[in-house]
Amino acid sequence: MNVTIENLSKDYKGGHRALDGIDLTVGTGMIGLLGANGAGKTTLMRILAGVLRPTSGRITIGGHDLATSAGRTAVKRMLGYLPQELPLYTGLTGREFLDYIALLKGIDDKGARRRQIDLLLDRVGLSDQANRRIGGYSGGMKRRIGIAQTLLGDPRLIIVDEPTSGLDPEERMRFRTLLASLGGDRTVLLSTHILADVAQSCPQVAVLNTGRLVYFGSTTGLTDAAEDRTYLVHSDGPAPEGCTVVNATTTATGTEYRIVGDPPPAGARRVEPTLEDGYVALLQTHRETQETHR
Ligand SMILES: Nc1ncnc2c1ncn2[C@@H]1O[C@H](COP(=O)(O)OP(=O)(O)OP(=O)(O)O)[C@@H](O)[C@H]1O
């Protein structure tokens, strides 16, 4: 499923520009969407899901133009969207909730609904909880029933907005594995702040910075942006100047800083970069470029 975005911009009321001239084409597979708070990820996802209109630009999904009502209807049929805050009917059981959403999605045949719901409950590991009210589910179970409703109707394009925030590590891993198993011939767009989720399940990644697309390509390519620029340095005082601190660990004799920068400070030891290092290095470069253009 090809998603093509051309020169897309979004201005909210009051004139705030949340997206600024995005050009992006993605194909099948899992694509991570990264960016700081307020970078425009949710805005982009809501526009792709058809719940928000862009100010300008053109989007086609599987050849259907989102600017036309026929295009929006066609896209709705092939789309599964899990927003950041999915309204759940806590008084319904998991099964009743899925049945209700399946009806809304136009799956009219009762037997077909039941078969799909059984399969999905099994896939998200909630078969034995299906007849419990959602109000009694844990946070992780609520996310899983959320992804199950997203998958009703076997969508070709799946958009999930920060699905793992607030989940414990085991539940996060389970959710990530579930999402990764959806890839294949579908397009899965995953917005998250958790870089490890992207590193482990998304071969491609897009990065937004203040409404602009600053990277789209392989996830390993973004990691490599910090190659030969990532160091560990020990100090009993503040971090060395002129570099970006990715994290700091307290030791018995001071602090060990993980830094990205050039040239390395005295005594620094070069290490292999992670996606987090590449991401930090990329944003640092863009912020510096923005500063010099001010
Ligand atoms: N309804 C709105 N009205 C006005 N401004 C908005 C609205 N929704 C979002 N914005 C602004 O648009 C920008 C992009 O917001 P958006 O929620 O898309 O970012 P995000 O990358 O998803 O952030 P986060 O990671 O915090 O969820 C922000 O500056 C935000 O304050």
Tell me, what's the pLDDT at 242? 81
Per-position b or e across 255-281, b if 16+ CB within 10 A of its CB: bebbbbbeebbeebeeeebbbbbbbbb
Helix (H) or strand (E) holding 142: helix 139-151
Of residues 284 and 82, the one with the higher pLDDT is 82
Confidence of residue 1 (pLDDT cuts 50, 70, 90): confident
Share above pLDDT 90 across residues of the chain, in percent, rounded to a whole number:
68
- Is the shortest distance between the CB of 35 and ligand 1 below 6 Å? yes
For the entire predicted model, the pTM comes to: 0.92
β-partners of residue 33 are 191, 206
Tell me, what's the pLDDT at 165? 73
- Is the shortest distance between the CB of 217 and ligand 1 below 6 Å? no
Distance 251 CA to ligand 1 centre (A): 38
Residue 213: pLDDT over 80: yes
Nearest CA to ligand 1 atom 4: 12
- Nearest-atom number in ligand 1 for the CA of 35 is 21
Tell me, what's the pLDDT at 293? 73
- Is the shortest distance between the CB of 42 and ligand 1 below 6 Å? yes
CA 204 to chain centre: 11
Among 105-119, 146-160, 238-252, the range scoring the smallest mean pLDDT is: 238-252
Tell me, what's the pLDDT at 140? 85
Residue 170: pLDDT over 90: no
- Nearest-atom number in ligand 1 for the CA of 39 is 21
User: Among 10, 11, 12, which residue has the most ligand 1 atoms within 8 Å of its CB, making it the best to mutate?
Assistant: 12
What stretch(es) of the chain map to CATH 3.40.50.300?
3-78+155-219
Tell me, what's the pLDDT at 192? 92
- Is the shortest distance between the CB of 77 and ligand 1 below 6 Å? no
Tell me, what's the pLDDT at 106? 86
Highest-confidence segment of 101-110, 139-148, 205-214: 205-214
Compute the average pLDDT of residues 146-153: 92
SS3 261: coil
- Is the shortest distance between the CB of 39 and ligand 1 below 6 Å? yes
Tell me, what's the pLDDT at 126? 93
Nearest CA to ligand 1 atom 29: 38
- Nearest-atom number in ligand 1 for the CA of 16 is 5
User: Among 33, 34, 37, which residue has the most ligand 1 atoms within 8 Å of its CB, making it the best to mutate?
Assistant: 37
Distance 182 CA to ligand 1 centre (A): 28
Compute the average pLDDT of residues 146-162: 92
Compute the average pLDDT of residues 5-11: 98
SS3 203: coil
Distance 113 CA to ligand 1 centre (A): 36
Of residues 183 and 144, the one with the higher pLDDT is 144
Tell me, what's the pLDDT at 178? 83
**Given 3-state DSSP classes, what are the helix, strand and coil percentages for the chain, each rounded to the nearest 5?**
35, 30, 35
Tell me, what's the pLDDT at 85? 83
Closest CA to 192 of 200, 244, 144: 200
Structure-token pair, residue 124: 């998200």
- Is the shortest distance between the CB of 10 and ligand 1 below 6 Å? no
* CB contact at 8 A, 23 and 1: no
Residue 235: pLDDT over 80: yes
Task: Kindly report, residue by residue over 52-64, the tens digit of the pLDDT.
Answer: 999 999 999 999 9
Tell me, what's the pLDDT at 261? 85
Confidence of residue 266 (pLDDT cuts 50, 70, 90): confident
Residue 264: pLDDT over 90: no
Residue 155: pLDDT over 80: yes
Nearest CA to ligand 1 atom 27: 37
Write the CATH number of the domain with boundaries 3-78+155-219.
Answer: 3.40.50.300
Compute the average pLDDT of residues 35-39: 93
pLDDT, averaged across the chain: 91
